[in-house]
């Protein structure tokens, strides 16, 4: 009899925890413009459901495991949010009232800290700092009413990071499960001018449909972001392999066993039977790349060469080249046009058999590449609109000499 009671009690406890673990809810992963489809595919691969693409974000449904995987495995996510409150709002008073109604102590306690990030695009609220202040007041007042005390704010390293998004009169309050932005992989110890965001670089490689089985080249590698992300993809090394912490590890429902199983469940490769080549004309860029490749633990997998692009080539006759040449902040237009025309010459003569992808914000200069494009995509590098064009190069590729591309 006693035994039966004990068993039932254990079962109840077990069921309680497995329900928590398996409870499904909506989440939102943020990304760059132009990478929504790539991110949706990544989320599908990790088992997310009800995936919907939005502008610079993808919503999906999943459980705790999906959340851990989205943070650890998705290369194009910037952060993963878990919405906890949605309401209509047209005034600070309604904002305060709705936030105060929420049972915040279910998420964190008096000894914990919190921070508030706001994204506001609304005729009813013009100052995002003011929104953050009202939300903070509402949370603090809710705690004070219940305990006569309040938790503190810590903007740098809070227990819980709260994201407030107001678009017109719709407010969504979410928990930020990522903490630091996911593009901060942890390998960037050195930088050059205009390094690409890591998530954008990964997205470009995934968009290029490189087969991870043939040569990969970046002939203007700067600090090495593109070749490093390419090696991580080819070796199936998670983008979060060096990241020290995530927002969700401080949450009340953190499941360390599940988290460890997500991390140990990844099967990485240790050998590559093709080349990943990174080159740049600048010794400083090569030094920065070398440092970053070393801290990424990828020295064995990336060949680093200091050379001008017109000296770069591949003798394998098949592969993918992805690079972002300078946009010309420092070059005069005529020089920039000539520079891009020379890139086209090098692609044509040295890379027959390759797919080449060029990212640039200098649209007029891109026309001077003078090769037929087979795909034309738009991406944003920060606030800067860029074109990401594909050129399929074959023996006998001809340059085309008109500006109407």
Q: How far is the CB of 278 from ligand SAM (least distance, A)?
A: 9
Other residues' Cβ atoms within 10 Å of the Cβ of residue 258:
15
Of 42, 65, 215, 280, the residue at the interface with ligand SAM (CB under 6 A) is 280
Size of the site for ligand SAM (CB under 6 A): 20
Q: Is 375 exposed, middle or buried (0-12, 13-18, 19+ CB in 10 A)?
A: middle
Q: Which stretch binds ligand SAM (CB under 6 A): 20-28, 105-113, 187-195, 268-276?
A: 187-195
Output the residue with the shortest Cβ distance to ligand SAM.
222
CA 317 from centre of chain: 31
Nearer to ligand SAM, 206 or 221 (CB): 221
Q: How far is the CB of 359 from ligand SAM (least distance, A)?
A: 8
Bridge partner list, 278: 218, 304
Q: At residue 327, what are phi and psi to the nearest 5 degrees?
A: -90, -10
Pairing mode, strands 384-392 and 354-360: antiparallel
Q: Which stretch binds ligand SAM (CB under 6 A): 43-51, 53-61, 72-80, 188-196?
A: 188-196
Q: Which stretch binds ligand SAM (CB under 6 A): 12-20, 106-114, 149-157, 189-197?
A: 189-197
Nearest CA-CA partner of 371 in 358, 387, 386: 358
Site string for ligand SAM, 320-339 (x = CB under 6 A): ----xxx-------------
Contact between 291 and ligand SAM per CB under 6 A: no
Torsion sign, CA atoms 197, 132, 163, 113: positive
Bridge partner list, 355: 320, 392
Of 108, 301, 309, 388, the residue at the interface with ligand SAM (CB under 6 A) is 309
Q: How far is the CB of 230 from ligand SAM (least distance, A)?
A: 11
Please give the Cα distance from 164 to 312 (Å, whole number).
Answer: 48
Interactions with ligand SAM, residue window 203-232 (CB under 6 A): 219-223, 225-226
Contact between 308 and ligand SAM per CB under 6 A: yes
Interactions with ligand SAM, residue window 40-99 (CB under 6 A): none
Q: Which stretch binds ligand SAM (CB under 6 A): 27-35, 96-104, 203-211, 281-289?
A: 281-289
Largest CA distance in the chain: 90
Cβ-contact 251, 160 below 8 angstroms: yes
Q: How far is the CB of 400 from ligand SAM (least distance, A)?
A: 22
Q: Is 242 exposed, middle or buried (0-12, 13-18, 19+ CB in 10 A)?
A: middle
Residue with tokens 């360390």: 256
Interface with ligand SAM (CB under 6 A): 192, 194-196, 219-223, 225-226, 280-282, 285, 308-309, 324-326
């Amino acid at each position: 009899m006693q035994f039966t009671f004990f068993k039932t009690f254990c079962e109840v406890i077990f069921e309680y925890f497995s329900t928590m673990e398996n409870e499904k809810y909506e989440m939102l992963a943020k990304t760059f413009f132009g990478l929504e489809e790539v991110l949706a595919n990544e989320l599908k691969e990790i088992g997310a459901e009800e995936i919907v693409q939005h502008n610079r974000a993808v919503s999906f449904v999943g459980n705790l495991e999906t959340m851990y995987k989205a943070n650890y495995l998705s290369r194009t996510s910037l952060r993963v949010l878990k919405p906890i409150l949605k309401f209509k709002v047209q005034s600070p008073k309604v904002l305060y009232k709705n936030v105060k109604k929420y049972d915040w102590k279910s998420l964190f306690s008096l000894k914990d800290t919190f921070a508030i990030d706001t994204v506001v695009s609304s005729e009813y609220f013009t100052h995002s700092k003011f929104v953050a202040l009202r939300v903070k007041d509402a949370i603090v007042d809710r705690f004070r009413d219940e305990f006569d005390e309040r938790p503190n704010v810590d903007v740098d390293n809070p227990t819980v990071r709260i994201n407030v998004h107001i678009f017109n009169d719709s407010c969504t309050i979410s928990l930020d499960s990522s903490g630091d932005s996911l593009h901060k992989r942890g390998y960037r110890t050195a930088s050059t001018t205009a390094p690409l965001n890591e998530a954008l670089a990964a997205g470009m490689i995934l968009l290029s449909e490189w087969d991870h089985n043939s040569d990969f080249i970046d002939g203007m590698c700067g600090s090495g972001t593109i070749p490093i992300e390419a090696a991580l993809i080819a070796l199936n090394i998670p983008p979060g392999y060096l990241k020290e912490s995530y927002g969700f590890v401080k949450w009340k429902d953190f499941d360390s066993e599940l988290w460890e199983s997500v991390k140990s469940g990844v099967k990485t490769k240790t050998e590559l039977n093709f080349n990943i080549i990174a080159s740049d004309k600048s010794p400083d860029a090569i030094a920065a790349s070398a440092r970053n490749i070393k801290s990424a633990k990828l020295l064995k997998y990336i060949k680093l060469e200091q050379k001008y692009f017109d000296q770069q080539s591949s003798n394998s006759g098949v592969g993918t080249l992805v690079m972002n040449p300078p946009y010309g902040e420092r070059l005069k237009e005529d020089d920039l046009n000539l520079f891009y025309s020379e890139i086209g010459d090098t692609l044509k003569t040295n890379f027959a058999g390759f797919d080449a992808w060029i990212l640039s914000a200098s649209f007029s200069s891109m026309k001077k590449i003078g090769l037929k494009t087979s795909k034309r995509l738009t991406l944003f590098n920060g606030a800067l609109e860029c074109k990401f064009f594909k050129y399929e190069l074959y023996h006998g590729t001809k340059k085309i000499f008109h500006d109407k591309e």
